Amino acid sequence: MLWSEVAPRNSAISLMLVTWSACMLPSMYRVIVLATDDIQAIHEELVAKGIDFELPLTETPRGTQAMFRDPDGNALLLWEHAGAQAEAAASEEPGLRYQPF
């Protein structure tokens, strides 16, 4: 797997280029990744609003993710980094990087 990520310092936004296998062509998959500190709360809120998830909440070694599509068919992946829950528990005021819909 090849993984390159760039971001401005102190930014909540980054650009990632990922290739999972040698047979994967450039731009074969395009996904917008939305990082959050509380994926469970956002997932529940979107499901309550009728959003259908193609990928349900899924634990991975790098964190938890879930994917849905916007009305134009763009893939949107919610992602909570594996360390986010530990960091939030250590803080008295965990900061969320999303605004409720």
More confident: 78 or 62: 78
Cβ contact 35:97 at 8 Å: yes
Every domain of the chain and the residues it spans: 35-101
* CB hemisphere CA count around 47 (13 angstroms): 14
Pair of tokens at residue 74: 């763009």
Sequence-distant (≥ 6) Cβ neighbours of residue 48 within 8 angstroms: none
- Which pLDDT score, from 0 to 100, does residue 71 have? 93
CATH assignment of 35-101? 3.30.720.110
Q: What is the pLDDT of residues 37-74, one digit of tens each?
A: 999 999 999 999 999 999 999 999 889 999 999 999 98
